[in-house]
Structures are given as C-alpha cells and as structure tokens.
A and B are shown apart, each in its own frame.
Chain A
Amino acid sequence: MSDREPTVIAKTVTRMVVPIIAVTAVALLVQGHNLPGGGFIAGVLTATAFVLLYVIYGLDTVRRTLVLRSEGYGFLSGPTESYARAFAGGLAIAVTAGIAAVAFGVPFLTQGVVFVEDIPLYGELEYASALAFDLGVYFVVVGSLLTIIAVVGKE
C-alpha cells in the first residue's frame, strides 16, 4: 500500500484509543433513549474506531485479525460480507423492535420502560425498549459505513 510504515507512536496510540472509543460508543448507545447519544452516533463512533485501525494497520491486518468470517464471493468477499450481514441484522432488529409493539396491541414503534429498583450497590436500573431499536440502528450504521469504507478502500 504505502511505502512507509506508520510510526510506533501511531500504532501504540491506536491500540490505546480504539478500546476507549468502543467504550464511549457503548455508553452513548445505552444512554441514547433519554440523554444525548443514540444508535446512530454510537455506530458512527464505532466505525471511526475501525477506520483508525484500517488507516494504521492496513486492510489486510484488520481482515485477518478482527473479522473472522470471510466466506462470500465477488464483490462482497471477506469482511464486507460480515459488514453487510451486520447491516441486514441491524435492520431486522430495528424492524422487530417496532413490530413487537404491534404484537402488544399498541401502535408500531411504541416504546415502554421498566424501572428495576432496589438493586444492591447500583440502586435503580432503567430498561427502556427503545434500546432494542437503538441497537438495530447501531448495527445498521456500523454495517453500512464499514461496507462503504471496505469496498471503496479495496479499490
């Protein structure tokens, strides 16, 4: 690809930063239904972590070490197949999360929330059904962005 390897500093910083980005993304995802954040922005953040890896370590390393499944053929070979699967799966989660409301007899996409109280040490936990929808959005965003990056990057 390029004639110069990235410096050790760049590689080390990437190793440190990528997990932090991932944790931040998860935090944004989990709080998304009633605080700033959400599936979309968490997905974009996760994609940036992948992009950082691609830039510093190259397409091949990421494919070998991170993305295990590499069947598929032609245009969608290697990690792209996994990304496309994440996209489709995410869409399925989001749609199912919406249809679940219909099964309960309330309009499409209606959300509910359950508060679990008196948990030792932690106090109160909030389970919002919107999280399932957000999770779907998250996978759609991650899958589609990485598909674009992987396909365009390969060319």
Chain B
Amino acid sequence: MATPQVVIAPLLVALGTAVLALLTRWDTRVQRATSILGAVAYLGGVAALFRAVRLDPDNRLVYQVSGWDAPFGITLVADPLSTLLLALAAVVSLVAAVYSTRAVDLEGQRLSYHALYHLMVVGVTGALLTGDVFNLFVWFEVMLMSSYVLVAFDSGPASTRAALQYAVLNLLGSAVMLLAIGGLYATTGTLNMADMARRLAEPAAYGIDPAPVLGISAVLLVVFLLKAGVVPFQFWVPDAYRAAPAPVTAMLAGVVKKVGVYAVLRLYFTVFAAAPVAVSLPGIEGGPELGVLAFFGPVLFLLATASTLLGGLGAIDQPDLEGLLAYSSIAQIGFILLPVAVAATATDPAVRTVGVAAALVYSVNHGLAKSLLYMAGGAVEDAVGSTRLSDLGGLTETTPVLSGVVLVGALSLVGIPPLTGFFAKLLVFDTAVRAGAPLALGVALAGAVLTIAYATRVWNRAFWGDPGPRVQAAAAAALTRAGSTMEEAGDAVTDGGADPGAAPEDASAGHGDAHDQHHGDLSAAASIADPLLVGCTLALAVLLVALGVGFDPLYTAATDAASAALDTGAYVDAVDPTTAGEALADGGGGGSGGAHDIETLRSLRGDGR
C-alpha cells in the first residue's frame, strides 16, 4: 500500500512552523511572517488532505507512523469527520494568527506566542487525526499545555488565577483520562481504536468482557465534556475566556472545544457503539443495536439541556462582552450535543446520520461565529479599552464595519437565513422532529429564544444607543490622530481611555469633509477600530455568509462525516488491524499486551526493514 504522506502534512506543517517561530526570534518581522505563512501552509495542507480523502474510494486514508502496522504502531486516520473539523481549525487558526500579530504585545510574540500558538494547532491536528486512544491523550496534552501558557499570557493577576484554575482542572481531567485509558487497555487489550472496535464487536472471540467498557467510557465522557465546557463542567470557561488574549479565546472557543466534541463522536459512535452491552434505562429500551449509546443518549441529553439553559440564562446577565460570549459558548455547546444525544438513542440509521451531521454543521457554525465574535470583542477592547457593556454603546457610529461583522456573527448564532447558523439550527430541529423527540425540540426552542435574548442585548447595549464616555473619548482620539479638526477634538481627549499605539492608517476620516465636522460628530472618525483586526473578523463574516448561501458543500461534507463516524465496519476495515493482530494472537488470548517476540515484530514492519 502506498503511503499517503498527505495525511501527516498538516501536522508536520504546524510542527515545523512552531519550530521555525522559535528559531526566528532574532527578528520579530521574520517571525510574524513565518507564523502567518505557516498558518497559510497549514490551510493548504488541510485542503490537500480534504481533497485526497474525498478522492479516496473508501473516503479514508490511513497512515502508519514510523512504518509500524496497526495495532502496534500509532495509526493516523483521515476520514471525512477528521477533515471537516480540520478545515474548521485551519480557517480559524489562520485568521487568528493574522489577528495575533496586532493584538498580542510584541515582546510576548517574540518570546513564545507564535511557537505556543502553533503547538496548540499541532495538538488539535494530532487529536483529530489519531486512531489510537493513548495517542489521543498525548495530543490532548500537547494542545492543553500550550493553552495553559496562552491563557496566562497577559500575566496579570486575573489571567494568572484563571490559568491556574484552568491548568489544575485540566490536569485533573488528564489524570482521569489516563486512568480510563488504562482501564480500556486492561479490558480490551489494545489501544488502537479500530482494533478496539473490532474486539468489542466480538468479545467472545477475543476472550474479553465488554461490560467494564460502559463504566470506563462514562469516566472518559466526563473528561471530554470537561474539555468541551459542558454543564456541570463549565465553571472554568468564563474565567479562562476572559483572561486569554482575544485570538487565543477565538481558538479555544472555536476549535479546541470542538476537539472534545470530536472525541465523543469518534470514540462513542465509532468505537464503543460496537460493544454488545445491553443497557436499559427508563424510557429507552436498550438493545444490542444501541449498545452503550443507550446509556449515553439520556446522559448527553440532560447535560446538553442544562448547558443550553444555564449558558443562555447566564449570558443574559453578564456585565461584559467576553463573559457574555463565554456563557454563550456554554449554551451553544449544548446545542451541539443535543442532536448527538438524540442520535445516540435513535435506532433509525438515517436519523442518526442527520443528528451527527447537525452537530457537525452546528460545530462549524459556532466555530466560525464565536471566534468572529471574540475577535470582534478584542477589536472593541483594543479601540475603546473596555468590553463592559456599560462602557460601550453607539459603536455602530464609530465602528461601522466591525458592527456589521458582529451583526452577521450574532445573527448566525441566532440562526437567521441565509447565514450558516440558520441551517445549523434547522438541522438540530430536523433531528428532533425526525426522531420524534418533543422534549429535545422544546429544549432547542428554549435555547433559541435565549440566544435571541442575549444577542439582542449585545446589540442594543454595545452597538446601538448613545455612545458611552469611553467610546466618545476613543473616537475623539482617533479624530485627533487622523489630523483633522485638532482644536475641536482636542478638548475631548481628556479621558485618555483610548487605545495605545494602534494608529488607524485607513481611518479614512475623509480629509475632504474633515472641515465641516463638529464636536461630537462621531461618524467622522469612520472607524476607531484597528483595520487589520476588523479585516480578520470581516473575513470570517464573509465565510459565514458564503457557507450559508452556498450551503450544499458544507452539508455534503457534514453528512459524509456523519456517515464516517457511524460506520464502524468501514473504519475497522480501513485501518485493518487484523494482519498484524492475528499473527500475534497465538492461542487467542489477547488479554494484555503480552510479550512480543522482537523478530515477529520486525517481520511485521510494513517495509520489511
């Protein structure tokens, strides 16, 4: 079998960029260029992989790292599910990388920012590609270790406290995850996901007892949901998201959260669902066709409901933009899990596919919209010096483009056609209706109403209305810098709360009509926000509109991804852990790893070296 090197391309590009960002510390311009070019190359690598997977007859590309065959080596598997989320990661990470060059302070960028940022992308990529449970843990750690530092990057008391909380919680989560993975290995005798699914499907043939998998996978679920920030594991979210720099928060909320969702889809639907464990809960008749999912469906449903409602209610009451967006993230992750929960208890494969596809479309929508909103929030903070809703107001006059962008992002969260969010919400409702789950439909409706409530609140308080004092001061300062009506604006620049440094070159305040401005005419300042920051958010807004208008490719990709997530048999066949596995399963024991003869292993090497 020819080795599809394209599978590892995104991983290597991100890793190489991180190393180069460390090596180019002598010149910050070169370093920033490296970082952005690396992010562009990463997007290219992901696009190539996406295409390769689509062209592949099985829609799956398998890569045996270091030439060791599954189930002994580390296997990377690229299928439509991985590539869809990789594409999301690539787009958001490129935009956030460009945004970072302006939003993060220069000394921080020089020291470690870009390297850590790209290492976080490496972790995300690895977690999305790996076909090995232990390797998944390793990539989670790579991702989290970089994010610990990035959350603490402002190194103020608040961010240090938030980062400590974030680090301790996630370390605890990682310890539990390791424990659970150890339990899985003890139970099934393998760590390779495909091999695990194969063994769980026929436990008798391999002499294993699949019953403990139910408990172990429940423990694992806690870890994934902690990383995804689902109620009741949501308490770290607002502090960490407030503390981290805006582009990092965009990545955390837009991409890193989705890795937790991905892990749930991949492990529970592809791997654990194969186990013939009959679970019966009130209201759900467990059968072999549902397996452990009969247990996880109701659990996920409860948590998704709690997330949607608590997050939505919490968002309505937040005093600042970042806190509001953080609670909104909690609510939206509930929206992502809701169709997953419905799919888990649905016996009809068509409903399952729609449910998982709905979750994926919603993930893409939320990833784009939320990172857009966080970056817009960062641009507001950069321009005005505050994101407290009481300090803001009238931003439509002072930052027209940014306001338009935020409107697109907020409407996409709410779900207004023709934005991507409309189809995402539609698919969630569709799943609930098809599965005949009125309760899920009710939760989704309540969540949608709450979304409208807090989106409206942002718009009314921050963007409409009379400009707050800080906004006026920032606008006046921008006018002064633009070199027009110095004498009139000068006396307004007493507050001094304006952004330091960032000179809006294209504050196209229009030198022509500069003379007939009078004090307080804020629209003359055209835009007080940094044009680069606004440009980044604008790119995401355009994408949200484009994906909504031309929804078909996204829908196809999501449906393919959902079928891939649900098709355990094809996944096992693609990885094909049998050849190497059977050769070693002498005596059919297969309990623990066992002592392998080094010669046997050598003969199993793919290239025969």
Contact = CB atoms under 8 A, between A and B. Distances in A.
- Chain A complexes with chain B: yes
Interface of A: 74-76, 84, 87-89, 91-92, 95, 98-99, 101-102, 105-113
Contacts of B111: 75-76
B146 to A, nearest CB: 13
A98 B5 CA distance: 13
Nearest to B107: A74
B8 A111 contact: no
Contacts of B606: 107
B22 A109 contact: no
B460 interface: no
Interface of B: 3, 5, 8, 12, 15-16, 18-19, 22-23, 25, 63-67, 107, 111, 606-607, 609
B64 A88 contact: no
Given A106-B607, A108-B8, A88 B23 contact: yes
Given A75-B111, A112-B609, A106 B22 contact: no
Given A102-B8, A102-B12, A107 B19 contact: no
B607 A110 contact: yes
Contact of B65 (A74, A87, A109, A112): A109
Given A84-B22, A106-B67, A111-B66, 20 more contacts: A75-B111, A76-B111, A88-B22, A88-B23, A89-B23, A91-B18, A95-B16, A98-B12, A107-B8, A107-B65, A107-B606, A108-B5, A108-B8, A108-B65, A108-B66, A109-B65, A110-B66, A110-B67, A110-B609, A113-B609
Contacts of B63: 107-108
B16 to A, nearest CB: 6
B450 to A, nearest CB: 45
B3 A106 contact: yes
Q: Interface residues of A: mostly helix, strand, loop or mixed?
A: helix
Contacts of B25: 84, 88
A87 B22 contact: yes
A106 B18 CA distance: 23
Given A105-B3, A107-B3, A91 B609 contact: no
Contacts of B609: 110, 112-113
A100 B278 CA distance: 49
A82 B30 CA distance: 20
A88 B67 CA distance: 27
Contacts of A88: 19, 22-23, 25
B515 to A, nearest CB: 46
A49 to B, nearest CB: 24
A91 B67 contact: no
Given A74-B107, A105-B3, A95 B19 contact: yes
Give the top 7 A-B pairs by smallest Cβ distance, nearest first: A88-B22, A109-B66, A110-B67, A91-B19, A108-B8, A92-B19, A88-B23
- Chain B's interface: helix, strand, loop or mixed, by majority? helix
Interface centre among A95, A111, A113 (most CB of B within 10 A): A95
Given A76-B111, A95-B15, A102-B5, A107 B66 contact: yes
Q: Which of A75, A92, A98, A107 has the most CB of B within 10 A?
A: A107
11 contacts: A88-B19, A88-B25, A91-B18, A91-B19, A91-B22, A102-B8, A102-B12, A105-B3, A106-B607, A107-B3, A107-B65
Contacts of A111: 66
Nearest to A81: B25
Contacts of A91: 18-19, 22
A101 B23 CA distance: 22
A101 B25 CA distance: 28
Nearest to A98: B12
B12 A99 contact: yes
Contact of B23 (A92, A105, A107, A110): A92
B173 to A, nearest CB: 24
A101 B5 CA distance: 11
Contacts of B16: 95, 99
Query: Which residue, of B16, B19, B23, B63, has the highest number of chain A Cβ atoms within 10 A?
Result: B19
B582 to A, nearest CB: 22
A108 B23 contact: no
A101 B607 CA distance: 12
Contacts of A113: 609
Contacts of B19: 88, 91-92, 95
A95 B3 CA distance: 19
Nearest to B67: A110
A74 B106 CA distance: 13
B62 to A, nearest CB: 11
A113 B609 CA distance: 9
Contacts of B607: 106, 110
B22 A107 contact: no
Nearest to A90: B19
B257 to A, nearest CB: 28
B12 A108 contact: yes
Contacts of B64: 107
A89 B64 CA distance: 27
Contacts of A89: 23
A148 to B, nearest CB: 13
A98 B11 CA distance: 12
Contacts of B8: 102, 107-108
A99 B17 CA distance: 13
Nearest to A91: B19
A75 B105 CA distance: 15
Contacts of A84: 22, 25
